[in-house]
Chains A and B, each alone.
Chain A
Amino acid sequence: MLIQTPYSIPTALIHQVHHDDLSLGKTVINAPTGRFFYDPWTIKSEYAGTVWDTILKTLPVPVGEARIIVLNYGSCYQQHADIDDRYHLNLSGESCYLVDIDSKILYPVTADGIWYTMNTERIHSATNFGRYNRVQLVVRHLLIDADFDDGVAVRISFDDLDPNYARYIFDNSISVWLNRTNKQHGLKNFEFSRSSVTFSTRPSLLALLKDIVPKEFILTLI
């Protein structure tokens, strides 16, 4: 699930991160230049020239949204999959792990200065068993601009569901399919709103999608 890339940052850069200035949760340091999931993001003006800008530039590929994520000590995330794989750079924390729930494997994360790429098609979580907050820079891979002409436009939506409840169900079922289908060049024009997602896919992939859409969601061909 977690693979080391050849790219890293000098440890001196890690020491330049002032952890006290960081707030819990997620802070986005760059901004979209076009389509949220497809076009490269650029650093926000307030972060230009900062240590975060320097760190982000050590990734040699065009990237999507980059977030500083601070995970409180003694806490974890609900299990989920994501549509897009992620680059992870861990900057602080102790006894912190990424968890491949599908395989029941813990991956320790340390402030080793190494960028990792994470296959988020796997159902996963992150935990912080330690005393201190864990700080990571997490960067979205851009989705593939798939090239097919015979696409079927799809909307998946929900009614009358608590958004958090809906998100949990979505991320444990449909996100897995979305991630895999993107990698198979079978997805394009993905967009999301508060209660629905829309995209195009290849007709041959539609049957499987219909099979895995949970009963709480409505699949509509548009």
Chain B
Amino acid sequence: MKYYYNTVPGLGQTRNNLIYTSLMSDDQKTFVQWYYNDTDYHHGQNQIIDPSLMSEKWAKELMWLTHMATHRPQLVPEIQGIDLVNKKIYLKIDGVDFWQQSLDAGCSFDGILPDWQEQMLAILQAHKDLGFYKYSLHPSSYFIVDGQLKSINYFFCHSDSEEEVPLSHFRSHISIDRQHKLEEYFAVANLTWDSVLPYSTLQQISFESFRSNYPDDFIDKAKKIYHD
């Protein structure tokens, strides 16, 4: 297993994930979410250094990934194994993630997977149907296996039954770029990091923050899922 990074034109190697350490097998058939704050992987820029927060993220990942694997197995990668001692989840994949495929090919998502919008919307609909919100929506949070989009990164999920907390609770695991996008939105919506919002509202804000990653019409359809 080797460290897995995304390679972004103009930026070079960037971390595939800010929370855990991403590993991939040489044959690109297995992806490992290693819930360990590996300083080498994160180049000392570790986002989550609070062990209790890391434990919370690990527990969330276990809860909601396995919930999806149980009830919507076709929408997540096959779980090859879970190492509870070392906090590693082994996922069956086939090549680099959706975002990286698009970057490598120098084309839009349509050129990689023509029906990606329908597939991604089906995944979002499943989250809603199963009663939770997922805020990790970056295109690197998906793999393609046999033409099917597979969703990963369930560490940042919440449900209405949970106590609402200030937005600052999430700040450490949001990228600096996305924090800036959120702050632009906060300025318009008269919000601050101290604001406490329903998880359903956070879902809508999360979609807004991904307008630079996905077409506007896709974001509008995604937002509508949670309005219906």
Contact = CB atoms under 8 A, between A and B. Distances in A.
Interface of A: 3-7, 57-62, 117, 144, 183, 185
Given A5-B63, A6-B60, A6-B63, A60 B162 contact: yes
A60 B162 CA distance: 8
B67 A61 contact: yes
A144 B132 contact: no
Q: What size tier do the contact residues of chain B reach?
A: 10 to 19
Nearest to B67: A61
A3 B67 CA distance: 13
Given A3-B84, A5-B59, A6-B59, A60 B161 contact: yes
Nearest to B159: A60
Nearest to A114: B59
A61 B59 contact: no
B70 A183 contact: yes
A175 B63 CA distance: 23
B62 to A, nearest CB: 6
Contacts of A185: 73
Nearest to A143: B70
Contacts of B59: 4-6
What are the nearest 6 A-B pairs in CB distance? A60-B159, A6-B59, A60-B161, A6-B60, A5-B63, A4-B59
A163 to B, nearest CB: 31
A58 B160 CA distance: 9
B174 to A, nearest CB: 18
A33 to B, nearest CB: 16
Nearest to B130: A61
Contacts of A117: 63
A96 to B, nearest CB: 21
Contact of A60 (B70, B73, B84, B132): B132
Contacts of B130: 61
B56 interface: yes
Contacts of B70: 144, 183
Nearest to B160: A60
A144 B66 CA distance: 13
A58 B56 contact: no
B161 A59 contact: yes
A107 to B, nearest CB: 12
Nearest to B82: A3
Contacts of A61: 67, 130-131, 159
B71 interface: yes
Nearest to A141: B70
A57 B131 CA distance: 13
Given A6-B56, A60-B131, A183-B70, 4 more contacts: A6-B63, A61-B67, A61-B159, A117-B63
A7 B157 CA distance: 12
B203 to A, nearest CB: 14
Interface in B37-75: 56, 59-60, 62-63, 67, 70-71, 73
A52 to B, nearest CB: 15
A59 to B, nearest CB: 7
Contacts of B67: 61
Contacts of B132: 60
A184 to B, nearest CB: 9
A44 to B, nearest CB: 19
A182 B116 CA distance: 30
Nearest to B69: A183
A3 B59 CA distance: 8
Nearest to B64: A6
A60 B159 CA distance: 6
Contacts of B159: 60-61
A62 B84 contact: no
A3 B161 contact: no
